[in-house]
Amino acid sequence: MINKNRQGKVNHKRVQRIMHELGIIGIQGKNSKYHSYKGDNGIEKSNLLLEKVVDEEKHRTTFIRHFETTGPNQKWTTDVSEFKHKDGKLYLSPIMDMYDGSIIAFDISEHPDFNQTKRMIDSAFKQYDNLEGLIFHSDQGWQYQMKQYNMWLKAKGIQQSFSRKGNCMDNSLMENFFGILKNEMFYGHESEFESLNDLKENIEDYIKWYNEERINVKRNGLSPLEYRQQSVSQL
């Protein structure tokens, strides 16, 4: 059973600590990938995070993905992931800042439609007035090719970047987040969520815990929020 507090909420921090003490790892379930690609609408789809390196002597071409940043709101990424439940499906659409791995905005819906994308974007834009020069990366999902979506980004001075078609490694940071989330709170516990709303609340609780408490060695043992606040205080 998922470890819960008196209010019935999942205590992810305690669960993670107990799993670590017992040497237990998260169950590796099938990551039900939501495929949003519906074809090419003809707009230019540059990968602004990808560098092509040609070694003429060895006749070899390699690609370097530049996910690194020097501060918040320089590079964002987004995608959609599907959660299957006995009562239906939920779709999580988050925005991650590549600087600290924080989820700065997200939307959970039973329908992966353009309204979900708009709610996610609106939530992010309400938090930050100046996003000039930000690179916003995604796969080639239909929603990210929509003219209205492109206009929203351009109006904010945001540069749009796309993964290459069928190349999940180009957006591996978000794929990794989905994997962590599902392994730590979803896989092996699917039957324990009483309803879609129960599952939705647990995903929301997990993201809050992930942002505020889940530490990472790459962030010097800080949570995403702590790392972000530290960088802002040093400006």
- Domain boundaries, given as residue ranges, for the chain: 12-233
Q: Which residues make beta-bridge pairs with 60?
A: 55
Distance CA 96, CA 98 (A): 6
| Amino acid occupying residue 111 | H
- 19: phi then psi, degrees, rounded to nearest 5: -60, -40
CA distances from 33 to 68, 107, 109, 110 (A): 25, 17, 16, 15
Structure confidence by residue, pLDDT tens digits, 83-126: 999 999 999 999 999 999 999 999 999 999 999 999 999 999 99
Token pair of 8, please?
Answer: 């019935």
Task: Give pLDDT, residue 12.
Answer: 52
Mean pLDDT of the region 54-62:
89
Q: Quick count: other Cβ atoms within 10 Å of Cβ 144? A: 25
Task: Give pLDDT, residue 20.
Answer: 44
Task: Give pLDDT, residue 38.
Answer: 56
**Going by C-beta distance under 8 Å and a sequence separation of 6 or more, which residues neighbour residue 61?**
52, 53, 54, 55
pLDDT at 37 over 80: no
Q: Quick count: other Cβ atoms within 10 Å of Cβ 167? A: 15
Task: Scan for tokens 């993905």, then name that residue.
Answer: 65
Task: Give pLDDT, residue 31.
Answer: 45
**Going by C-beta distance under 8 Å and a sequence separation of 6 or more, which residues neighbour residue 223?**
210, 211, 212, 213, 214, 215, 216
Structure confidence by residue, pLDDT tens digits, 205-219: 999 999 999 998 888
Distance CA 131, CA 128 (A): 7
Please say whether the beta carbons of 95 and 76 come within 8 A. yes
Q: Quick count: other Cβ atoms within 10 Å of Cβ 65? A: 17
In the CATH scheme, what is the homologous superfamily, with its name and number, of domain 12-233? Ribonuclease H-like superfamily/Ribonuclease H (3.30.420.10)
Distance CA 206, CA 10 (A): 8
Residue 83's closest CA among 168, 207, 216, 225? 207
